[in-house]
Chains A and B, each alone.
Chain A
């Protein structure tokens, strides 16, 4: 019986090695270890043995069974692995094929610039004020120290709807309206929006364009506060290395009035085509709010002062992104707009 057992073991181990698929191996398992298999038969036959041999034989059968089981499992692991490998190979794909596109659009470049500016000033505690694009002559001009017949009105030829109503030529009327509404309170706002001037559309002019103006009114607002604010703004928008300079200028609603230049972000100030060899780029106009403007809005110019500034997002976008023709902003060519898809930190 011992011999029989040994033969059985060798036969089983051989069949295990010969099995080449999981199924074949399972058949071997059933054949040898199943309820109807020879090992079970042997164990069943043990009853015929003398009582003293039974423990020894029992142990022997168990050893054989364990050996077969172990071999089976090893073989099974191997075959399963092979089977998986075959399956995986079948499932292989060309990873260079294009992915399913997630189609998203993006901001118009002007909105991108406007929101960047808005977010900077919001972080400085400003609110965003908006107003009508069709405006009264009073808010567009008169409340801004531009009475009828003022020579500076020539500077901004306007689209009139009637004697007293026109398409606003700047977003400053929002400042006048805000001051009037705030009735003497301190103010910190920026006013973005569309504006209109009687210009023929060409590479540098557009009859419709955008503007962002800022206004701070309160006790003790100084010209140095304006300079400090603009300096931070320039560094945020155009890079930490930017320097600013102020040049005297003229706007009817501010006095003193200045233009702000930033050191050229392309050449760093050495002179290049962007800065027209000067090292400086004109970015915005600003100044201290004219006392007449404060007075007309119900503020007492001897008690409060303010500063204001205004800039053109088109110009900033043109400088930042190297856009050469302002008309690109209004043709809505998808090949243009989609170039501003990517985010910039």
Chain B
């Protein structure tokens, strides 16, 4: 909402208050003023000129040499506008003027002819092109003949004005009108306001004698008022009216249309003017459209309607989409003489739906959508009739043609001062409360210590006690509210075990060298299921903004890879990122997809980078695996963790494993398939993804200390040769099973394939630690246990022992 302070001053006296101060007070008490626009842009030396003579420039087709009376002198100005002509009153920027946008006007020569200033268009004075009346959109602006050469043009054009731009919250639709703003500012300044006086002469002829009205859709249109004005002379509006409209962001058209727009801005009640003769039938019928019915709207677009769109018809065909836009067939034009003024209450939901469907939002529809004041529908029609009589020479037929089933009663709210004070934590006296409500012009009576309030219908946002609390608080001032803390039984607060463990996972991964990433949950349908741990239907948006963000992800890996590509492309060769976040699986009975929190990581490039001491190491499978093992160990889940070779789409077939916890698959780990790597411009890249929710929800044993060993342990090494396919994991399992309870630890310390080892075989060496917490082991005991291990390896793994 654009509020001209010049216009506002007609209703509430704000002279002498700096716009900045006014804006600040309005903002602090409830409506945010987004910006303050000085319409003069600091211009000077812009005056009225009279074009005494206008001839073509001999050297240039498109230029005119004008002799212009600018009051103190007649001076020559070259003008290139196509519409300049002798006898016009025009706007002249004299030498020394600085126009908005920084153009400085100087004396100049144009093709050999002197030019002492510039004849201006409105655009050149800082008015947006879309607000300039069509007649002047392509050229200079022509002033009314009664202006005086030399006169300052800025006040004439209403440019000696400051406009406040309101950022209105949806509840304050009352401030979508100048009168609403006047009420608010009046309350803030503790001042009275001057409402428009509506007086005009009615003719003897009755409106209802020339116009019939029928409303068929009474729910969507509970009130319809039509007035008829005859003998209208359609012309340009007076300058002051055009100026106000332009300040409010509305383009002037002609006096009839401008008056409806003016009243819309003044009262917040949208009006429409029909050409009575073009209606043809002398009848208005409000009904729902028929499916597929067509209308060509004022913007010359043909629109197809459906059954819930409310339309105004002439009894046979639509002449307007109710509350949204008029039809071209009944539009007021230069030759119009009789006008029907429509002022109605259209149900907000109906207008909102229709406006959305036909894709039209107008000053009218935005007001109807929020609910106009039921008590202004009639008054706004009267106001328009008055202005048409005053400004368009119209003759207003007596009375209105009305349909009215609209509830116009005020909401009664009864509230005690204690209730207000208890909710605010303040001690405002009843008298102060009454004074505030009085300033807001909210009719209130004090009855038995209670405030009995009849909330005015112009304030649709006042419905319940809390709304009144807000009115009191905002006018009293939020600065006056003390600072206290909730008094309640003290709660310990804190993280749930799950949340605490999630933080541990993050800290662990960061300690291990990974940076935390946060990627988007939405991806393309094509990529949504890549690397997913579970097979489930995808969850898609009804109306995505793009195909790339149309579907919810089922794995964190694709976007982490995308982030890796992004970094690698910027010459960051080593990337280590992790993310914790939800994946979205199919549709559950409850109607919502199952959201499972996962943790994933991506690694590429160097893992250790300390070249000058010869320590550099590329990321490999075992770096990634070590991170998983360390994380699980930190969570107390090392036992029961295992890895089994796996074949997964998009992964390297020989370097990928499923991660299992107590035999259940909880994740995947491995290298990205080289073809995928190439597609993504990546080198050797490893990823892992685990079901975090599963991991963090496992109950772990309580941490208990076990005594620090008092007796020495004994180590024995085993070197053996096995078939290449025999996995180290199997060997370790055999060793552990055979070793019995004395065997405390098994560690692989050598792995060799190649020279000196038979083809198809490999050599491994393990170090075994034997230990008994109760006593020192004897050699015989260790030998006995160790021999069992050796035998088991020979029998179960066909291992040849070496050395």
Contact = CB atoms under 8 A, between A and B. Distances in A.
B499 A128 contact: yes
B649 interface: no
B488 A222 contact: no
User: Is the contact region of chain A dominated by helix, strand, or loop, or is it mixed?
Assistant: mixed
A330 B519 contact: yes
Given A110-B518, A149-B349, A188 B426 contact: no
Contacts of B469: 255-256, 288
Given A134-B593, A160-B541, A227-B482, A105 B515 contact: yes
A248 B478 contact: yes
A164 B591 contact: yes
B422 A227 contact: no
Interface stretch (B323-331, B562-570, B657-665): B562-570
A248 B352 contact: no
Given A194-B582, A291-B465, 20 more contacts: A104-B512, A105-B512, A115-B503, A126-B491, A134-B552, A134-B593, A134-B595, A151-B348, A151-B352, A159-B542, A186-B489, A194-B581, A216-B486, A223-B473, A229-B485, A250-B170, A250-B172, A288-B469, A330-B519, A332-B519
A133 B582 contact: yes
Given A104-B513, A162-B542, A222 B424 contact: yes
A170 to B, nearest CB: 15
Interface in A124-168: 124-128, 130, 132-136, 149, 151-152, 154-155, 159-162, 164-165, 167
A332 B483 contact: no
Interface stretch (A45-53, A64-72, A333-341): A333-341
Nearest to A216: B486
A256 B470 contact: yes
Interface string A271-304: 0000000000000000010110000000000000
B422 A220 contact: yes
Contact of A222 (B425, B495, B615): B425
Given A100-B610, A227-B482, A331 B542 contact: no
A225 B484 CA distance: 5
Interface string B39-80: 000000000000000000000000000000000000000000
Interface in A112-130: 115, 118, 121-128, 130
B540 to A, nearest CB: 7
Contact of B575 (A107, A208, A305, A334): A334
A291 B415 CA distance: 15
B582 A221 contact: no
Contact of A151 (B30, B170, B493, B572): B170
A186 B488 contact: yes
Contacts of A258: 478
Given A188-B493, A224-B426, A332-B577, A108 B518 contact: yes
B727 interface: no
Interface in B328-376: 348-349, 352-353, 369-370
A208 B559 CA distance: 14
Given A98-B612, A136-B591, A127 B424 contact: no
A328 to B, nearest CB: 11
The 9 A-B residue pairs whose C-beta atoms are closest, nearest first, are: A224-B425, A250-B169, A222-B425, A256-B470, A228-B483, A332-B563, A246-B478, A248-B30, A255-B466
Contacts of A238: none
B566 A332 contact: yes
A122 B466 contact: no
A305 to B, nearest CB: 6
Given A165-B592, A247-B27, A123 B467 contact: no
Interface in B565-592: 566-567, 570, 572, 575-578, 581-582, 584, 591-592
Contacts of A228: 482-485
Nearest to B539: A161
A76 B172 CA distance: 98
Given A121-B493, A151-B348, A231 B577 contact: no
A151 B577 CA distance: 42
14 contacts: A100-B615, A105-B576, A133-B584, A134-B595, A162-B591, A200-B545, A207-B522, A208-B520, A225-B487, A248-B29, A250-B170, A255-B470, A288-B466, A288-B469
A74 interface: no
Nearest to A255: B466
Given A107-B510, A224-B426, A335-B570, A133 B521 contact: yes
A249 interface: yes
Contacts of A3: none
User: Is the contact region of chain B dominated by helix, strand, or loop, or is it mixed?
Assistant: mixed
Nearest to A190: B493
Contacts of A269: none
A135 B592 contact: yes
B609 interface: yes
Given A225-B484, A227-B481, A335-B570, A97 B464 contact: no
A257 interface: yes
A155 B170 contact: yes
Nearest to A258: B478
Contacts of B592: 132, 134-136, 165
B169 A249 contact: yes
B506 interface: yes
A122 B493 contact: yes
B521 A194 contact: yes
Interface in B456-482: 464-467, 469-470, 473-474, 478-479, 481-482
A103 interface: yes
A309 B111 CA distance: 67
B494 A122 contact: yes
Contacts of B349: 149
B615 to A, nearest CB: 7
A334 B515 contact: yes
Interface in B424-476: 424-426, 464-467, 469-470, 473-474
Nearest to B492: A125
B474 A248 contact: yes
B612 A97 contact: yes
A106 B610 contact: no
A124 B415 CA distance: 33
Contacts of A256: 466, 469-470, 473-474
A186 B493 CA distance: 13
A216 B521 CA distance: 30
Nearest to A107: B516
Interface centre among A167, A246, A332, A337 (most CB of B within 10 A): A332
A338 B28 contact: no
Interface string A84-97: 00000000000001
